[in-house]
Amino acid sequence: MPPSKRDEIVQKAMETFYRNGFHATGMDMLVAESGISKTSMYKHFRTKDDLIVAALKLREEQFNDWAFQRIDELASDPRNKLLAFFDVLEEWFQQDSFKSCMFIKASSEYPESDHPIHRQTVEQRTILLSNILHLVRLAHLKEPEQLARQIVMLQEGAIVTAHFGNCANPAADAKHAANALIEAAS
């Protein structure tokens, strides 16, 4: 089934927001890049914030599908999947299209905790933490909640470090630290 006009708008908006940022991307730019009229844009999305939330949801779905599929391809047992998570990050960082994390950018541009865009970024991180916690529990590691939070913190730190570009391989450094935490929790 071909994507709907709404789906096409969200996909194009996601790419544009990721490349340019949220505040720097106006509705006129989105209309021009998507090739639709303003009337059609506003028919599908009442506000730019609504479109941003939809784009973040799509990014979450696409990134998680890709990342966890790659993790499953790289490792079979839960402990190795936790470490493969950082190999997947390294693959992402090496992509020409890498422009940091869309969710970190969004939460920075919309820092108010009650803003719908900020809430969407928190939801994405909650889902990621839940997925990591599931792997930690399957690996029967000690203090699973704490370890899952620490692994996600290493992941976030690797993303920010990759964004700054001042480290040769932040994903490998984070993987090394995660391995030490996993060993200590065994």
pLDDT digits (tens, 9 = 90+) for 86-124: 999 999 999 999 999 999 999 999 999 999 999 999 999
Spatial separation of the C-alpha atoms in residues 114 and 166, rounded to whole Å: 33
Domain boundaries, the chain: 57-184
Q: What is the mean pLDDT of each run of 10 residues along the chain (186 residues)?
A: 83 94 93 87 92 96 95 97 98 94 96 96 95 97 98 97 92 98 97
Spatial CB neighbours of 118, under 8 Å, sequence gap ≥ 6: 106, 107, 110, 111, 112
Alpha carbon of 93 to those of 68, 101, 124: distances in Å?
16, 10, 19
Q: Between vectors from CA 81 to CA 140 and to CA 144, what angle results, nearest 5°?
A: 30
CA distances from 167 to 19, 114, 150 (A): 22, 34, 20
> What are the C-alpha distances in Å from 48 to residues 35, 106, 110?
16, 13, 13
d(CA 82, CA 75): 9
What whole-number distance in Å separates Cα of residue 33 and Cα of residue 12? Answer: 7
- What's the whole-model pTM score? 0.91
Highest CATH level, class, for 57-184: mainly alpha
